């Protein structure tokens, strides 16, 4: 903060502190309450009881705390500070006099109603003053917080501009003070991009802080819901126990009825009715608890959906940048670096490798990266159900079901009906026969058209081509996939097709490769996993690169650059 502003702020603070001291002084002697109270105590004023004497001592303690706070606020220099210090000293003397009067208080006299009335009035006025002061401090704290946030943003912008000016000055110095127009133009362009990048980074940091606060709030809500669920379980167990007791009691009553009868039967019936009433009450409580838990779960879902929509809005610039650069991110930073920024728009990529090696994790991460930017996902399933995909996505991203509810995820399922599963999913179109290529193609085209009407492009994952070929034959699958890949390229979609290694001949792989734009080839060598990129535009290296895979991520190791990229 500049020195002038800092001085003004200190002057305003000093003025406010002086006003506060004057207000306290008027309350103590200007309006007469303080003098009256001291006079009354000095004359040996009467109290109704020892409790009131203790309450007055507690009030003196609060005076000490408040005066200590005022003394800390008024620790300033200058002539005004000396005047304020004198005022503070007067308040301290007033407090000491009040303490001395309290120490001289005598045994209670319950007949003095006037003293009780005065003391009660003074306490009420004092509490009202404290509440007003607390509200003023809260307002001042909010204004200062807003001011600090504004200054921090301005400081960040100033630092960015200063850095860019330093870069420009360095270029001019290196050029001997003169730089041609072309170089200046490039420098301005680079500075503009760097400024935009730094501003985006600052906004991203702010959003991460906000997201962390929202996550903490959601965690607290989840804890509350968990506690309520545990309580509900305990209630349920208690209800079951009581039901067992009721059943045992009923059996006992029936036995006693057979043995005794008469009046005893009436008494037992009363007990039975009482037990029934108790069980009914517990059932009502249980239903109320269930309703509360469901309401809290719905509230949590709505809050989570709001966070997702905020993130999609915030990452709109990233989506626009992908379209401008004609490359999309996969969600794996090291993989994107290897591809010099990402997969080109309109690409059809074959993911080829043995089972359980991380192919599906790469495809799911690719879908997740698009969903977080508001890019829809079309998932074609030939060997999984939509539920299986949801279970896999839970390891990668939270709130996947909310993206489904926003209309960003659609499934085409050729697997469930073939397995005899008649489940119905609102986001899935089911194909009755797995080899019905015509129906499958029409469904994919229809869903793709719906996405294109609302979005610039979409992402597609086909799981898997190997199962498609197994249900028909390589030639039929090729005749189906060839026009499909062409339509996806025309839609500017980015598609991944999973192919299992070891299920196809070299000729079949060549046929599939002829309609693809590239391939990511996975392999296992001496219990270590590697992948290599074939095609897919320019890359930094086409050698096999080691990686490790879990259910939630692929971790890529270091790789050497090809000669044309080696500096």
Instruction: Summarize the confidence of residues 25-48 as an average pLDDT.
Output: 42
pLDDT attached to residue 173: 66
Of 142 and 522, the one with more pLDDT: 522
Question: What DSSP element (H or E) covers 462?
Answer: strand 459-463
Of 278 and 20, the one with more pLDDT: 278
Per-residue pLDDT of 117-149, as tens digits, reads 777 777 787 778 878 877 887 888 778 777 777
Whether 54 has a pLDDT exceeding 70, the answer reads no
Task: Tell me if residue 408 falls in helix, strand or coil.
Answer: coil
**Rounded to an integer, what distance in angstroms lies between the CA atom of residue 547 and that of residue 557?**
6
pLDDT attached to residue 96: 63
Percent of the chain with pLDDT over 70: 69
Partners of 530 in the β-ladder: 523, 546
pLDDT attached to residue 325: 86
Per-residue pLDDT of 303-316, as tens digits, reads 555 566 667 766 77
Per-residue pLDDT of 358-367, as tens digits, reads 999 999 999 9
CA distances from residue 239 to 67, 109, 174, 279, 324 in whole angstroms, order as listed: 58, 58, 83, 7, 63
pLDDT attached to residue 24: 47
pLDDT attached to residue 299: 57
**Rounded to an integer, what distance in angstroms lies between the CA atom of residue 498 and that of residue 494?**
14
**Rounded to an integer, what distance in angstroms lies between the CA atom of residue 115 and that of residue 346?**
89
Instruction: Summarize the confidence of residues 264-290 as an average pLDDT.
Output: 79
Domain spans of the chain, in order of start: 3-154, 198-314, 328-565
**Rounded to an integer, what distance in angstroms lies between the CA atom of residue 438 and that of residue 448?**
15
Q: Within 13 Å of residue 51, how many CA atoms lie on the same side as its CB? A: 3
Residue 184 falls in which region: left (phi positive, over 0), alpha (psi -120 to 50) or beta: alpha
pLDDT attached to residue 109: 44
The pTM (predicted TM-score) of the whole model is: 0.49
Of 25 and 93, the one with more pLDDT: 93
pLDDT attached to residue 108: 46
**Rounded to an integer, what distance in angstroms lies between the CA atom of residue 409 and that of residue 427?**
7
Of 10 and 65, the one with more pLDDT: 65
Domain 328-565: assigned CATH number: 3.40.50.300
Task: Tell me if residue 341 falls in helix, strand or coil.
Answer: coil
Per-residue pLDDT of 485-519, as tens digits, reads 999 999 999 999 999 998 888 988 999 999 999 99
**Chain position carrying tokens 């008027």:** 26
Of 72 and 430, the one with more pLDDT: 430
Per-residue pLDDT of 144-196, as tens digits, reads 777 777 777 777 777 777 777 666 666 666 665 555 677 677 777 777 887 78
pLDDT attached to residue 533: 92
Per-residue pLDDT of 379-436, as tens digits, reads 999 999 999 999 888 888 877 888 888 889 999 999 988 888 888 889 999 998 888 9
């Amino acid at each position: 903060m500049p020195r002038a502003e800092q001085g003004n702020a200190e002057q305003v603070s000093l003025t406010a502190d002086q006003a506060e001291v004057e207000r306290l002084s008027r309350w103590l002697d200007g309006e007469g309450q303080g003098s009256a109270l001291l006079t009354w105590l000095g004359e040996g004023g009467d109290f109704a009881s020892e409790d009131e004497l203790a309450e007055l001592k507690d009030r003196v303690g609060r005076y000490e705390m408040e005066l200590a706070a005022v003394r800390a606020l008024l620790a300033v220099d200058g002539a005004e500070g000396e005047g304020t210090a004198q005022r503070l000293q007067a308040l301290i003397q007033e407090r000491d006099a009040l303490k001395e009067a309290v120490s001289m208080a005598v045994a209670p006299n319950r007949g003095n109603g006037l003293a009780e009335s005065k003391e009660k009035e003074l306490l009420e006025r004092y509490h009202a003053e404290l509440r007003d002061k607390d509200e003023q401090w809260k307002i001042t704290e909010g204004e200062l917080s807003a001011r600090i946030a504004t200054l921090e943003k301005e400081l960040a912008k100033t630092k960015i501009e200063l850095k860019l000016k330093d870069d420009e000055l360095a270029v001019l110095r290196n050029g001997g003070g003169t730089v041609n127009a072309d170089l200046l133009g490039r420098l301005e362009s680079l500075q503009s991009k760097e400024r935009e990048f730094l501003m985006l980074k600052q906004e991203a940091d702010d959003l991460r802080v906000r997201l962390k606060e929202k996550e903490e709030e959601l965690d607290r809500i989840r804890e509350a819901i968990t506690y309520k669920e545990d309580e509900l379980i305990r209630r349920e167990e208690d209800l079951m126990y009581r039901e067992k007791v009721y059943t045992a009691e009923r059996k006992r009553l029936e036995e006693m009825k057979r043995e005794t009868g008469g009046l005893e039967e009436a008494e037992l019936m009363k007990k039975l009715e009482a037990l029934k009433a108790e069980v009914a009450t517990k059932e009502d409580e249980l239903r109320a608890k269930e309703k509360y838990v469901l309401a809290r779960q719905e509230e949590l879902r709505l809050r989570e959906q709001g966070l997702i929509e905020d993130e999609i809005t915030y990452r709109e610039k990233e989506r626009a940048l992908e379209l401008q650069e004609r490359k999309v991110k996969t969600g794996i930073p090291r993989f994107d670096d290897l591809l010099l920024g990402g997969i080109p728009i309109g690409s059809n990529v074959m993911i080829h490798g043995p089972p359980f090696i991380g192919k599906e994790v790469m495809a799911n991460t690719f879908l997740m990266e698009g969903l977080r930017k508001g890019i829809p996902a079309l998932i074609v399933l030939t060997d999984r159900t939509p539920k299986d995909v949801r279970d896999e996505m839970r390891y990668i991203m939270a709130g996947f079901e909310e993206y489904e509810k926003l209309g960003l995820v659609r499934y085409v399922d050729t697997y469930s009906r073939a397995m005899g599963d008649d489940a119905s999913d609102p986001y899935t179109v089911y194909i009755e026969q797995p080899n019905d290529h015509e129906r499958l193609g029409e469904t994919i085209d229809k869903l793709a058209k719906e996405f294109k009407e609302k979005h610039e492009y979409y992402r597609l994952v086909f799981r898997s081509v190997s199962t498609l070929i197994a249900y028909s034959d390589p030639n039929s699958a090729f005749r189906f996939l060839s026009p499909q890949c062409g339509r996806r390229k025309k839609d500017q979609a980015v598609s991944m097709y999973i192919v299992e290694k070891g299920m196809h001949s070299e000729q079949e792989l060549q046929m599939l490769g002829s309609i693809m734009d590239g391939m990511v080839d996975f392999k296992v060598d001496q219990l270590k996993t590697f992948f290599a990129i074939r095609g897919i535009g320019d890359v930094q290296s086409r050698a096999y690169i080691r990686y490790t895979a879990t259910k939630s991520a692929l971790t890529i190791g270091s790789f050497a650059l090809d000669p044309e990229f080696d500096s």
